[in-house]
Chains A and B, each alone.
Chain A
Amino acid sequence: MSSESAGTPDGRAGGTAVSDDHEDEPPLRVENLRKEFGGITAVDGASFSVATESLTGLIGPNGAGKSTTFNCITGIHEPTAGAVYLNGTDIAGLAPNVVADRGLVRTFQIARELAEMTVLENLMLAPQRQQGESLYRSVLPTFRDGVIAEETELREAVWESLEFFEIDHLAEEQAGTLSGGQRKLLEMARALMTDPDILLLDEPFAGVNPTLETKLLDRINQLRAEEGLTFLLVEHDMDIIMEHCDPVIVMHQGQVLAEGPSEAIRNNERVVDAYFGEQQ
């Protein structure tokens, strides 16, 4: 844990108190983030922020440090240096479950479905702080009715989500039997079931049919507008990034190369050299 990190693991927006000083603080701010693996520096002093209710794009060539940045933000990796502020509180080095409990949830570049659990179980797992996650509540008859009532409620929400993502026909299949695209959908549906404030999506549209892709983007925009969710999106599909993301952050060799509206990024010479240049 970094020396600056603080706060208790409990309390969604808790931890160290979010004072009035943080009112203008973006929900997610990364400051001089650095991550070294042995002699390799994967992230080299990256700084950026993600504005409230935005759909921020994070792009960069392979090896630019995008996924490592995601891992450092979400607690999978402990940063070598730097800070990650979630609603003004430094969360760098906190365990992934603590970060998720505070409302920042992610999906993975290579979908990590829970293969030998059904699609339904994968989604039922996600909601936070379920009564039945307590051992004695799950067993003792006194509490069992409450657990069953909550399960019944969650079940409704899970089915709705499955229908939206159009994988309800696979509900009772083992998640390991799903195709690559279906697994991506399952992951996004599962992450949303946690009721997050900020969602980090790592290449969520890989293998997803273009029609459904549009529907998902509409849903993302709806969640931003109606529920105030914030999204940070890593994506290799430039059309999606340029059309839907604002702002766009470009990473290259572990550093932030540029940050701004998509049009500005498109015309940024350094970005073109580092990133688009590869395609020419």
Chain B
Amino acid sequence: MSADSSPTDRLPTDRLDGFRDLLERSDAALVLTAMAAFYLLFLSIGAILNYDFAGLISILGQVTFFTAVYALVVLALNLQWGYAGLFNIGIAGFMAVGVYTMAMLTAPPTGSPPGLGLPVAVGVVGGMLAAAFVGILTALPALRLRADYLAIVTVAISEIIRLTYNSPAFSTFTLPGGIALGTGGANGIGNFPSNPVRAIYYADPSSAASETTPIGTAIFGFFETVFGVVRSAVIVDLTYGVVLAVVVFLVYILLARVGNSPFGRVLKAIREDEIVAKSLGKDTNRFKIKTFMLGCALMGLAGVLWQGFGTGAVYPQAFRPELTFYIFIAVIIGGAGSNTGSVLGGAVFANLLFLMPQYLPNIIEQTFAIRADPNNFIAAVAPIAAGEITPLLGYVLNQRLPALRFVFVGILLVYLMQNRPEGLLGHRTETAAAVDLSEGHTPGGTARSDPTAPDESGGVDDE
């Protein structure tokens, strides 16, 4: 702000500066502002596409859902890679273990494939424990070696897990004692337990035609009265998004505590120089194993909440390696080593790189009236000879734009590596301590308070 600006000029700038200060000081404000921006963006998209009120609510539910599930996995990876430098490229596999274990534990014994019919809560905990267990089996031999080996082992195990679930051999099998179980092979497990959120609204959550609960009747009635008819499924999805946001908040608190502690300090030291950490008496293997298990358990939880309750079914194709790649991109966008950055990175990736390409073709079609929609490449290219380029544009935009997501991601990655390798918040100094370390200093004493003081006073040579 210039010194000679008039008071009337100064006011909006001051407000802007104040808002910027707030964002720098408060992580909550930063995340809420980002989310508000994404909600506005997608409401605008809904408006452009002439969505009705139910459609707008649905789009907000989608934004919340994908932001939350991405944030959850990104937080887990940030613990492993951002904090401890553990290069886990098997995220998709650990998510698969979580959700498949959950499905196999809870699916009805009489279903196809059969499960154990246990309660959902047992399934969720079992899924997390199984993912942690597979994590430790994977990591134990590799953690003693260089970081590259962990990467190789995890990417291999992730594919082994996916292909095992995909294999017809395990589609249905019998355990000793005659207990029948199954992965469903390539078809996966369709009889996944219904989303627990449905229990708030429906007397029989597993039935689509169930009577509503008193709360369900009240809330559906409220939406109907105030906003007109809104599909109940949309309200259920929106509620699930809110539940996921709460889960993300709780996981954030957990990981912030882990990070802001002597435990987190050792993790950072392992990332920086493991020999030094060991030379200072830290049993680094113990720290790495605990961290890897916790991260994998959270990935298992994310698998349950995302691919399980989120879609209502689980199948092997959902756990292809590109899922792992997406999560890494999100961590890089947010800034490795920052929990708040992880949430932001997850939000940016989920909304701009995952959801947006699904809506863009319709927006472009609506805005620019590119209706030519050939469904094959020849039909798109042939008219170019007659000087007609619209069919090609239509083909690319309408048929191939979501598939071009990888191209967008690649371009973004190149840009980030060149211009902001530390990501959105990676530049911040997030001190790993349970207390504010800058306190407790009593200036004066023997301290040399002026960093620019000459070395004659007894400092060190700058080399």
Contacts and interface: CB of A to CB of B under 8 A. Distances in A.
Interface of A: 9, 74-76, 95-97, 100-101, 105-106, 108, 112, 114-118, 120-121, 124-126, 128-135, 138-139, 144, 147-148, 151-152, 155-156, 158-159, 162-164, 166-172, 174, 179-182, 184-185, 190-191, 194, 207-209, 211-212, 215
B451 interface: yes
B67 to A, nearest CB: 25
B429 A147 contact: no
A172 B429 contact: yes
Interface residues of B, number: 56
Given A138-B263, A208-B460, A209-B455, A128 B275 contact: no
Given A112-B273, A179-B462, A152 B435 contact: yes
B461 A118 contact: no
Interface stretch (B94-102, B276-284, B309-317): B276-284
Contacts of A130: 262
Contact of A135 (B276, B290, B432, B462): B290
A114 B262 CA distance: 15
A44 B368 CA distance: 80
A147 B262 contact: yes
A115 B271 CA distance: 10
5 contacts: A105-B280, A116-B271, A163-B446, A207-B461, A212-B458
Most central of A97, A108, A179 by chain B CB within 10 Å: A97
A181 B461 contact: yes
B438 A135 contact: no
Interface of A is mostly: helix
Contacts of A125: 262, 265-266, 269, 277, 280, 282
B437 A121 contact: yes
Given A147-B262, A168-B447, A208-B460, A132 B275 contact: no
Most central of B254, B262, B449 by chain A CB within 10 Å: B262
A131 B282 CA distance: 13
Contacts of A139: 254, 257-258, 261
Interface of B: 254, 257-258, 261-266, 268-269, 271-273, 275-284, 287, 290, 294, 337, 429, 431-435, 437-442, 445-451, 455-463
A172 B439 CA distance: 11
B276 A114 contact: yes
Contact of A118 (B294, B437, B458): B437
A100 B460 contact: no
B280 A169 contact: no
A138 B262 contact: yes
Contact of A117 (B263, B432, B450, B456): B432
A181 B272 CA distance: 20
Given A124-B437, A144-B434, A166 B459 contact: yes
Top 9 nearest A-B pairs by Cβ distance?
A181-B460, A138-B261, A132-B262, A100-B281, A211-B458, A180-B463, A114-B272, A96-B278, A179-B462
A151 B281 contact: no
Contacts of A96: 275, 278-279
Contacts of A170: 451
